[in-house]
Chain A
Amino acid sequence: MKGMTSMEITRRGGAAMALATLMAAAPRARAATPGLMVRSDGQPQNLDPHQVFDVPMMGYALNTYDGLLRYQGSPPTLEPWLAVDHTASEDGLDWAFRLRPGVAFHDGSPLTASDVVYSFRRVLALGKAPASAFLPILKPENVTAPDPLTVRFRLDRPYGPFRAAIPIVAIVNERMVRANERGNDWGAAWLAANEAGSGAYAFVPGSLTPNERLDLQRHEGHFLGWADNPSPVARIAMRTARETSTGVLGLMNGSIDFTDSYLPTDQVEQIQSSRIARVERHSSLRTFVIRMNNARAPFDNVNFRKAMAHAFNYDGFIREILKGYADRNPGPMPNPLWGAPKDAAGYAYDLGKARDFLRAAQAEGVNLRQPIRIHIQSQLEQTNQAAQLFQSDLQSLGVNLRIVSDTWANIVTATGSAETAPDMWIHWVSTYFVDPENWVGQMYDSRFHGTWKASSYYRNAEVDALLARARGLVRQEDRAPLYEEATRRVMADCADIWVYNTVELRGVSNRLANYRFCPVGSGAEMRWLRLKG
């Protein structure tokens, strides 16, 4: 560069060197922050556990809030948490929970029955996702606190899943939320970006960029204490990794300690062979299902539905595409759950049988040349893989299956009525509460038509009656046979194609020990983790 003098070159070169030196000297976060772990498994859309209720929210709220009861272990069992015990009346209408004394919120104020009453009333008033389990059977005025350590519920009618749904409601600090209420919003705007809990970890104010970053700090005064954990994680940095590849690379270079639990199966071997991370594999309660719109031709014909069920290559999908990281689940209920009939074999991949059922359907007037559409979730590659595998087998049977790439929001909107619901679509049913009601109850009782969970628009009066009876009983031993019978009938009618129960795969740094998995929350409860070194 002839136009540049040697002084200019020296000046510019010097500046570049200074910048390089500055950048090389940048601090390494891990070394600077003892006790830190980095999670990349996403954040809830907002921080209010009474507004949002999904897997990312569970991953946040299980750490920052406590409930009356909590699911622990796998298969999950309900354990006393804020409530030390509870009783139910014989008719299942009256429930009383006795609270643990001496529990404190993160601001140091005591947690009392009044906070519990406020929390349940708030859930009912906001009417968002967590409310759906309670709105049909509980009025706000029927949640009461006769003394500071007792909470009573009076249900409108007996509701078997009530106890199972109790952990859904996070107990919030009434005093803090009330202080931030605007009009009739129950503090919704404030709690969307703040926290008012008593959980093992507390939100670090100012650390939130929604859906990007969020920090949690260990709450030393948590009611469980920390005596069982000599080296707990002191600070949790939640940093959303949008691309799976970025999350996995982060795990491999040590900048991420904890990925989401849906690792692609082709990444498992790579992580396992590394020295710094491992894959935690656990059977979950998360079923993969291909829905069929039973209210629309040709799926209103049971022989056609059975042909479809015999045309899906279950073993090929699980063995080749999922590399064996899934358990065949032949019915709507997850295999390990009570209420799942152990004698129900389900449908097997058999193109010969599929042809026979297609002939039977054709004899009953079904037009086999009619193209059918299956909607996949464009962001979830596995739904596409399943659809392509299915398309290939159906083509050999002369059935024209068209794959439609779509988003969750679009599909769920379409499932609002039988007329607009897709012919077929693919999704998972996660564990929102551990009760058959979460699966067979809400998927196949016609009273739930209009919700995405009941989007096959299956209708069978006998099944409706069985499910209604099961819902009205309290004792598990009374309810189980009813759910088993309802499930058998739904399977006999082949309402949908049930494929597998998920094996959750989560990448975890070897710095972290004592990982505990529970299907509720997908093992994202951090208080048990021990930090090595």
Chain B
Amino acid sequence: MPGFILRRALLVLPSLFGLLVVCFLLIRLIPADPAVALAGDNATPAQIEAIRRSYGLDQPLPVQFGRYLMDVARLDFGTSQFSGRAVAEDLAQRLPATLELTVAALLLGVGLGIPLGVLAAVHHNRWPDFLLRVVSVAGIAVAAFWLAIMLQMLFAMRLGWLPLRGQISAGVTPPAGPTGFLTLDCLLAGRLDLLADALRHLVLPAVTLSLGGLATITRFTRAGVLDTLQKDFVTYERAVGYPRGRLIWLYVLRNSVVATVTQIGLLFGGLMAGAVVVESIYDWPGIGSYTVQAILTADSKVMLAVTLLIGLIYAVVNILTDLVHALIDPRLRETR
């Protein structure tokens, strides 16, 4: 197993390098000149040229890329051309918010999607199955921004149960905790009132972000369970009178979720990408909204760093997915 992990980890490096090369070239293909955007509204051509020189943007592409690679090797992602702060500092401040949202959405998707998938399979071609199929198709089809606005209208405006936007109430000073994860830091600081406030703010963005994943997991689990229910061992266990609940939740489910686990791994990357829209609508202070701003202002250092970061997270999640596969199915361990 350690050899397997090492092999997979080493494979990540060339993938990330390739990602960096492609992104660097793509960003340079965008006609926007960051020096122009940086110089501001009333800048003269001479001012723009001076800024271009000071950021090394007048150098040939290979030189710019070489310098960037050397900086990245030292974990220096440069300075955001707009916030004027180190990109690493901005990311460290924002990444926990995105991870918090993504993990919450994933937990919702998995926590509800797997039981619902089992429910649909067990009631195959009966009304719960029909209902869940309709709901899951709708869940995949519905646009996140539309759903977000509908949820805001219902739960924040009409019912007033949940906050409209943001990560915590405006008049509240969040604890400067050690992890950067707001909910965790509130907990560590013993501030249950702030934890509750943060959780209330998390609900709508997490539900919005989770819906597509929830639908996917439901459908994959349903298909997996349906397939397993046809297996001989299930027929045998049923024949000997093994309790139906235990049979389904312990044995059938375990034999059905390999494909679902793969989906969960893929889903994590999808949720990080989906967070761009959700964060913008709910004003969630994560890397999604940061990336949108960077694209609009041609802030290339930020775009590259975010791409690299998401690529890295995606790679790590894929390795973890493979490990979970191996834990679920001992045969996979043996073949590796």
Query: Contacting chain B: which of A80-88, A102-110, A249-257, A504-512?
Result: A249-257
Query: Contacting chain B: which of A59-67, A111-119, A143-151, A238-246?
Result: A238-246
Give the distance in Å from the alpha carbon of A46 to the alpha carbon of B290 in the complex. Answer: 13
Contacts of A206 in B (CB 8 A): 176
On whether the beta carbons of A412 and B84 are closer than 8 Å, the reply is: no
A314 to chain B, nearest CB (A): 26
Partner of B85, one of A1, A130, A193, A408: A193
Contacts of A242 in B (CB 8 A): 280-281, 283, 289, 292
Contacts of A520 in B (CB 8 A): none
What are 7 of the A-B contact pairs (CB < 8 Å)?
A: A29-B197, A53-B40, A53-B41, A128-B51, A193-B85, A245-B149, A413-B32
On whether the beta carbons of B152 and A45 are closer than 8 Å, the reply is: no
Interface set of B (CB-CB < 8 Å, partner A): 30-34, 36-48, 50-51, 79-80, 82-85, 90, 93-94, 149, 152-153, 156-157, 160, 163-166, 169-173, 176, 192-197, 199-200, 203, 243-246, 248-250, 280-283, 285, 289-290, 292-293, 295-298
Query: Contacting chain B: which of A70-78, A131-139, A354-362, A460-468?
Result: A131-139
Contacts of A29 in B (CB 8 A): 169-172, 197
Partner of B165, one of A128, A250, A252: A250
A275 proximal to B (CB < 8 A): no
Partner of A22, one of B171, B192, B293: B192
Interface core residue of B34, B79, B152, B166 (most chain A CB under 10 Å): B166
A213 proximal to B (CB < 8 A): yes
On whether the beta carbons of A27 and B169 are closer than 8 Å, the reply is: yes
B29 to chain A, nearest CB (A): 11
Give the distance in Å from the alpha carbon of A209 to the alpha carbon of B290 in the complex. Answer: 10
How many of A's residues come within 8 Å of B, CB to CB? Answer: 76
Give the distance in Å from the alpha carbon of A26 to the alpha carbon of B201 in the complex. Answer: 10
A297 proximal to B (CB < 8 A): no
Task: Give B31's nearest chain A residue, CB to CB.
Answer: A410
Query: Contacting chain B: which of A30-38, A223-231, A490-498?
Result: A30-38
On whether the beta carbons of A239 and B90 are closer than 8 Å, the reply is: no
On whether the beta carbons of A249 and B199 are closer than 8 Å, the reply is: no
A179 proximal to B (CB < 8 A): no
Give the distance in Å from the alpha carbon of A207 to the alpha carbon of B173 in the complex. Answer: 8
On whether the beta carbons of A129 and B244 are closer than 8 Å, the reply is: no
B119 to chain A, nearest CB (A): 9
B83 to chain A, nearest CB (A): 4
Given contacts A27-B197, A451-B42, 14 further A-B contacts (CB under 8 A): A2-B246, A23-B203, A27-B194, A45-B83, A132-B47, A192-B85, A207-B173, A239-B165, A242-B292, A408-B296, A410-B298, A416-B48, A448-B44, A453-B42
On whether the beta carbons of B36 and A416 are closer than 8 Å, the reply is: yes
On whether the beta carbons of B165 and A23 are closer than 8 Å, the reply is: no
B216 to chain A, nearest CB (A): 23
Contacts of A240 in B (CB 8 A): 283
B50 to chain A, nearest CB (A): 6
